[in-house]
Structure 1
Amino acid sequence: MEVSSGLNPRPNSHALDRDIDHEEKEAADIENLELETVVHDYHFRSMSALEILRETVRILRYNSAGFMAIVAVLICPVSAVVLSNVLVNQSLSKWLSIRLLLIAKSSGLPLRPFVKHSCQKLSETVVSVTLSFPLFITLSLLSKAAVVYSVDCTYSRRKFDSSKLYVIVSKIWKRVVFTYLWVCLVVSGCVTLFLVLLIVVSSVFFLIMGFPSDLILYPAMVVGFLFSVVLANTIIICNIAVVISVLEDVSGPQALLRSSSLIKGQTQVGLLIFLGSTIGMAFVEGLFEHRVKTLSYGDGSSRIWEGPLLVVMYSFVVLIDSMMSAVFYFSCKSYRMESANEENEPVLEALTIPSVQ
């Protein structure tokens, strides 16, 4: 059922009395009351991370059927591949890990268990992301676009419509993919810059200043901390850039610049959202590693139900993360537009008017 996009989401009571019976009227009133609760503050004030989470939960409750379909069809397959590391080539990962350890040793870093584990995880992540890239640029990117569309539907007082989603995705797919490729390029550049900077700093302290290997670990940790902050900000900008490429007619570098400008002054909220999502994903990944890959009861029957359960849990964390990014975009956008006394209008509906009757 599609809900009117007017400012007042409640239907006319006299028209309802003429067209539907008393029970249908009550059901319609309840549905519109729930929707009004979700969109009551479409012109947002500046929202905290907790308020964005609450808003996300309200949107999830209203459009639950659409979001469950997105989870089942688009997010769960990617989550299963990511958690199981089924596409990771162990020999290639081991080769890359050894090369990283050799570089670390030559730059003066002590080969402690922490350094070895970091090199191993970095190599596994690089190999996994590289081999899973076709999956990320199709299903994962489609899920992000579908989530943004569903959130936009809620704020436009409309129900999730798969036919409209198909029309919209066909129109915006090129710019979304182009933006995603730039996102991958920016994140890869940040990681490469970090590795180069880490090697340079370690080499300076070890070869030029003559510091012992054990002490070199401390400046390396400082570099790692600064990198984590920069990477977190970069990922926040990249996530909002993908949302912008869905909702606005910009892509690539323009979307990244637009994202950086849009979240200015709201970076702390974005960092809290990123931190919460990262902790949630890491927690589920750790459980999967321990309960499914390492532990099993007797003949391994525990994996039959624990594996799918953890995949579903991970998929929901991914869904909430994508939804919060979209809500964060609407919060920043509406706050900026209200400050400039501009009027906010539904974004994606115009794309479907000429094509969907």
Structure 2
Amino acid sequence: MDREQEEMQFLSLFSVFTESFKIVSSWRKIFTQITLTLILPLSFIYLLHIEVTNLLLHKIFYNAQEMSNTPLGSPRYEKLSDLLSSEWATFWLFKIFYFTLLLIFSLLSTSAVVYTVASIYTARDFTFHKVMSVVPKVWKRLMVTFLCVFAAFFAYHIVAFLVVFIWAVTIGIQSGGIAILVIIAILFFAGFVYLTLIWQLASVVSVLEESYGVQAMLKSRELIKGKMGLAIVIFLLLNVAFILIQVLFKVVVVHGWRLGSVDRTAYAILCFFLLSVFFLFGLVIQTVLYFVCKSYHHENIDKSALSDHLEAYLGEYVPLKARDVQLEQYHV
């Protein structure tokens, strides 16, 4: 990262993507190693989950339909009932296993990429072995932040459910009711995007600063002020790309629709590759956005202090002090 801290605040949307591409292309070896070790398994787990979920639900719905056409209390009905219960148990056990692996590899990938980008920013020497030795220590802090964010999302959805419930029992679909529901949906989506942005930036804060958990979320909320528009556009563009990859995989690989003469295996490999690239660049862009927000708020990061604290990860963990990353402000 060859830009000075003061210049980062002026990066546009295109410049953020360009900077991220330069970082990855200039350090291809280390990012390739991270991708092969952490991001490829993450992509494989995600795509496999889509395929397995589709198979399990297909069997469940088929047996449920068969049971609905079977006389109640008959031996076949009881057999289908037991089979359906077993399939639902398998489905939920698979979901738990999937979400556990997804969370682990997501946090490990975030730890590795954010630490690597910060090391590049400070121009310090590092190796893949050093990065991987740091990951388990950073992972613990990210887990605390994730749990706090999860609690915030859970509370947010509870409130949204209550609002919709109140709308249903007081207004409903009578005159003007649909318009109010649309407004509620728009506000819900806006709040969901905002919380997601807070989560993404809080993940970087948890790695590079002394804050984690609720403190990282509060710090993230302050950092994103003034760069909200840029963050939202990045979020929307990345999610459009993510949705397109999912749709391609579901339509061609899962449901078997043919697009030209290319077979499903080739499309599965293509989606696997695209998703891996998406995850890698998404995490790099997320870290670059952090430096943009720090620069915008004139919170100059002392590179030598940041380098020292990154090095401290290799020994006993010493978190970044607020004075190193927050209180040394510059004036443009």
Into which bin does the TM-score normalised by the smaller protein fall? 0.7 to 0.9
**Residue pair 1:45, 1:335 contacting (<8 A) in 2 also:** yes
- Cα 1:296–1:205 shift into 2, 3 Å: closer
Of the candidates 203, 226, 231, which is equivalent to residue 192 of structure 2? 231
1:54 maps to what in 2?
18
Structure 2 distance, partners of 1:130, 1:59, is 35
The alpha-carbon deviation at position 354 of structure 1 amounts to 8.4
**Residue pair 1:176, 1:246 contacting (<8 A) in 2 also:** yes
Of the candidates 21, 24, 27, which is equivalent to residue 63 of structure 1? 27
- TM alignment of 1:20-169, pairs within 5 A: 38-43=1-6, 44-84=8-48, 85-86=50-51, 88=53, 90=57, 131-158=97-124, 160-169=126-135
Structure 2 distance, partners of 1:186, 1:275, is 21
2:285 maps to what in 1?
324
Matched residue of 2:298: which SS?
Answer: helix
Matched, 1:264 2:225: yes
Matched residue of 1:39: which SS?
Answer: coil
Deviations 1:201-235 (A, max 9, x none): 232212xxx717xx644322221111111111110
The alpha-carbon deviation at position 355 of structure 1 amounts to 4.6
Structure 2 distance, partners of 1:191, 1:92, is 30
Structure 2 distance, partners of 1:204, 1:266, is 38
2:318 maps to what in 1?
none
**Residue pair 1:46, 1:332 contacting (<8 A) in 2 also:** no
Percent of pairs with identical residues: 25
The alpha-carbon deviation at position 331 of structure 1 amounts to 1.3
Structure 2 distance, partners of 1:61, 1:74, is 18
The alpha-carbon deviation at position 318 of structure 1 amounts to 1.8
Matched, 1:187 2:153: yes
- Which of 49-58 and 279-288 deviates more? 49-58
The alpha-carbon deviation at position 296 of structure 1 amounts to 5.0
Matched residue of 1:68: which SS?
Answer: helix
The alpha-carbon deviation at position 93 of structure 1 amounts to 9.3
Structure 2 distance, partners of 1:174, 1:353, is 16
The alpha-carbon deviation at position 271 of structure 1 amounts to 0.5
| RMSD of equivalent CA atoms | 3.0
Structure 2 distance, partners of 1:54, 1:289, is 30
TM-score, normalised on structure 2? Answer: 0.75
**Residue pair 1:187, 1:234 contacting (<8 A) in 2 also:** yes
Matched residue of 1:337: which SS?
Answer: coil
Structure 2 distance, partners of 1:146, 1:303, is 32
1:204 maps to what in 2?
170
Deviations 1:42-101 (A, max 9, x none): 43234222221111111111111222222222122222232342563538997xxxxxxx
Structure 2 distance, partners of 1:80, 1:246, is 25
Could you tell me which runs of 5 or more consecutive residues in structure 2 were left unpaired when the two chains were aligned: 62-91, 316-332
Deviations 1:18-44 (A, max 9, x none): xxxxxxxxxxxxxxxxxxxx4133432
Matched residue of 1:265: which SS?
Answer: coil
Structure 1 distance, partners of 2:4, 2:47, is 37
Q: Please tell me the residue identity of whatever aligns with 1:183.
A: V
Structure 2 distance, partners of 1:345, 1:195, is 48
Q: Please tell me the residue identity of whatever aligns with 1:41.
A: E
Q: Please tell me the residue identity of whatever aligns with 1:347.
A: L
Matched, 1:274 2:240: no
The alpha-carbon deviation at position 285 of structure 1 amounts to 0.5
TM-score, normalised on structure 1? Answer: 0.70
Q: Please tell me the residue identity of whatever aligns with 1:277.
A: L
- Cα 1:265–1:220 shift into 2, 3 Å: same
**Residue pair 2:138, 2:207 contacting (<8 A) in 1 also:** yes
- Cα 1:292–1:146 shift into 2, 3 Å: same
- Which of 188-197 and 67-76 deviates more? 188-197
Structure 2 distance, partners of 1:134, 1:342, is 35
Q: Please tell me the residue identity of whatever aligns with 2:39.
A: I
Q: Please tell me the residue identity of whatever aligns with 1:40.
A: R
**Residue pair 1:149, 1:348 contacting (<8 A) in 2 also:** no
Q: Please tell me the residue identity of whatever aligns with 1:240.
A: L
**Residue pair 1:262, 1:332 contacting (<8 A) in 2 also:** yes
**Residue pair 1:202, 1:219 contacting (<8 A) in 2 also:** no
Matched, 1:242 2:209: no
Q: Which runs of 4+ in 1 moved over 4 A?
A: 91-94, 126-131, 341-346, 353-356
Q: Please tell me the residue identity of whatever aligns with 1:90.
A: L
**Residue pair 2:202, 2:216 contacting (<8 A) in 1 also:** yes
**Residue pair 2:252, 2:258 contacting (<8 A) in 1 also:** no
2:306 maps to what in 1?
347
**Residue pair 1:334, 1:344 contacting (<8 A) in 2 also:** no
Could you tell me which runs of 5 or more consecutive residues in structure 1 were left unpaired when the two chains were aligned: 1-37, 95-125
